[in-house]
Chain A
Amino acid sequence: AQKITQTQPGMFVQEKEAVTLDCTYDTSDPSYGLFWYKQPSSGEMIFLIYQGSYDQQNATEGRYSLNFQKARKSANLVISASQLGDSAMYFCAMRERSTGNQFYFGTGTSLTVIP
Chain B
Amino acid sequence: NAGVTQTPKFQVLKTGQSMTLQCAQDMNHNSMYWYRQDPGMGLRLIYYSASEGTTDKGEVPNGYNVSRLNKREFSLRLESAAPSQTSVYFCASSTPGGRDFWSTEAFFGQGTRLTVV
Contact = CB atoms under 8 A, between A and B. Distances in A.
A44 B111 contact: yes
Interface stretch (A13-21, A65-73, A80-88, A95-103): A95-103
A68 to B, nearest CB: 14
Given A45-B108, A50-B103, A91 B48 contact: no
Interface of A: 4, 6, 9, 31-33, 35, 37, 43-45, 47, 50, 52, 91, 93, 95-97, 100-103, 105-108
A57 to B, nearest CB: 15
Interface stretch (B14-22, B38-46, B63-71): B38-46
Interface of B: 31, 33, 35, 40-45, 48, 50, 58, 88, 90, 92, 94, 96, 100-108, 110-111, 113
B111 A91 contact: no
